[in-house]
Amino acid sequence: MSQIEIKKKSIGLVLSGGGIRGMAHIGLIKAMQEHDIEAEVISGTSVGALVGALYANGNSVEDMLQFFRETPLFQYNFFAINKPGFIDTDRYFSIFKGFFPENSFESLQKPLYVVATDLMRGLEKVFSEGELIHPLLASAALTPVFSPVEIDKTLYADGGIMNNFPKEYVDGKVDFVIGSNVSIAGEIGKKDLKNSLQLAGRVTGLMIYAASHKKLDECDLFIEPLELEKIGVLDKKGIEKAYQIGYDHGSRALESLLIEK
Enumerate the active-site residues.
46, 158
Torsion sign across C-alpha atoms 135, 136, 140, 145: negative
146 DSSP 8-state letter:
B
**CA pair distance 127, 122, nearest whole angstrom:** 16
User: Which whole-number Å values give the CA distances from 233 to 12, 22, 120, 130, 163, in the listed order?
Assistant: 25, 9, 26, 30, 18
Specify the pairing of strand 221-223 against strand 176-180: parallel
User: Which pairs from 65-74 meet CB under 8 Å and 24+ separation?
Assistant: 65/23, 65/26, 65/239, 65/240, 65/243, 67/99, 68/20, 68/23, 68/236, 68/239, 69/236, 69/239, 70/95, 71/95, 73/234, 73/236
